[in-house]
Amino acid sequence: MKKIFISRGMIVGIFIFLGLIIFLTAVFTIGNQQKAFEKTVTIKVIFDDVNGLQPGNNVWLSGVKIGTVKKINFHGNTQVEIIMNIDRAASRHIQRNAMAKISSDGFIGNKIVVIYGGTNEAENINSGDYLQSEKSTGTDDILSTLQKNNINLLAITDNLKIVSEKIKDGKGTLGKLINDPSMSDNIRLALIHLKTAAVSSEQATAKINSLVSRLDNNGTLIHELTTDTSVYANFKNTIARLRTTSETISDFADSLKKTSGSLNKNDNAVGLLLHDKEVASDLKEITKNLNTSSRKLDEDLKALQHNFLLRKYFRKKEKQEKAKQDSSKIKL
Q: Per the structure, how many domains does the chain have?
A: 2
Contact between residue 56 and residue 14 where contact means Cβ atoms under 8 Å apart: no
In a domain, 164, yes or no: no
Cα(6)–Cα(9) distance, rounded to whole angstroms? 8
Nearest to 112 by CA among 61, 39, 161: 61
Cα(307)–Cα(6) distance, rounded to whole angstroms? 208
Among 16-25, 52-61, 163-172, 244-253, whose mean pLDDT is lowest? 163-172
In a domain, 135, yes or no: yes
Domain that holds residue 291: 276-309
> 208-230 burial, b for 16+ CB within 10 Å, e for fewer?
eeeeeeeeeeeeeeeeeeeeeee
Interval 269-313: pLDDT, tens: 656 566 667 766 777 777 777 777 777 776 666 666 665 555 666
Chosen domain end from 110, 127, 142: 142
Cα(254)–Cα(191) distance, rounded to whole angstroms? 59
In a domain, 12, yes or no: no
In a domain, 239, yes or no: no
Chosen domain end from 87, 116, 142: 142
pLDDT the model gives residue 1: 46
Cα(277)–Cα(264) distance, rounded to whole angstroms? 14
Interval 252-281: pLDDT, tens: 777 777 766 665 666 666 565 666 677 667
Residue 188 pLDDT level (bands cut at 50, 70, 90): confident
In a domain, 250, yes or no: no
Chosen domain end from 142, 166, 188: 142
Instruction: Flag whether pLDDT at 146 surpasses 90.
Output: no
For residues 196-209, give the mean pLDDT: 82
In a domain, 90, yes or no: yes
Instruction: Flag whether pLDDT at 122 surpasses 50.
Output: yes
Contact between residue 32 and residue 24 where contact means Cβ atoms under 8 Å apart: no
For residues 60-82, give the mean pLDDT: 90
In a domain, 96, yes or no: yes
In a domain, 252, yes or no: no
Report the percentage of the chain scoring pLDDT > 90: 11
pTM of the complete model:
0.38
